[in-house]
Amino acid sequence: MTDPSLTELRAQIEALASDSGRYVVVCGRTGEQPIPVAGARFVTREVAERAARAAEQYRRALRRYDDRLPYYDLIAVEDAASEAATTERVVGPTT
C-alpha cells in the first residue's frame, strides 16, 4: 500500500473543512496554523483531529522534499474568536 500523495491529503483536509466550523488546528507550542490547515475551520473537535492527522502526514511527505520544514505539534482547539462571537450572541454585547 502506498502513502497518500500531497494532493490527496490536501483534498482530504479541504473536504473536512467548513466555513462555519468552531474548531481549528494549531501548533500546541506556538499557536501557529501551518500549511495545509492555515485558515481552515472544522465543525467538531473530532473532525479537526482528523484534519490534524492528515496535516501531519502531509508535512511528513513534504519533508521528503525539504528537510528544513519546521515541525509542529498539531492539536485541535476551539477557536477563541468563534467562542467570543457565540457568547456575544447568547449574552449580548457588553458596554
pTM of this structure: 0.82
How far is Cα 52 from Cα 76, in angstroms, rounded to an integer? 7
Q: Could you tell me the CA-to-CA distances from 11 to 56, 58, 93 in Å, in that order?
A: 14, 11, 38
Half-sphere exposure of 30 toward its Cβ, with a 13 Å CA cutoff?
9
- Structure-block grid coordinates of residue 51: 484534519
| Residue 11 lies inside a defined structural domain of this protein | yes
- Structure-block grid coordinates of residue 47: 473532525
| Residue 1 lies inside a defined structural domain of this protein | no
For residue 83, pLDDT beyond 80:
no
Per-residue model confidence as pLDDT tens digits over 43-64: 999 999 999 999 999 999 999 9
- Structure-block grid coordinates of residue 82: 468563534
| Residue 37 lies inside a defined structural domain of this protein | yes
Instruction: Count how many domains the chain has.
Output: 1
| Residue 88 lies inside a defined structural domain of this protein | no
User: How many CB atoms lie under 10 A from the CB of residue 37?
Assistant: 30
What angle (nearest 5°) sits at the alpha carbon of residue 15, between those of residues 10 and 17? 95
| Residue 92 lies inside a defined structural domain of this protein | no
User: Given pLDDT bands bounded at 50, 70 and 90, which one contains residue 88?
Assistant: very low
Give the structural domain span for 14. Answer: 6-80
| Residue 61 lies inside a defined structural domain of this protein | yes
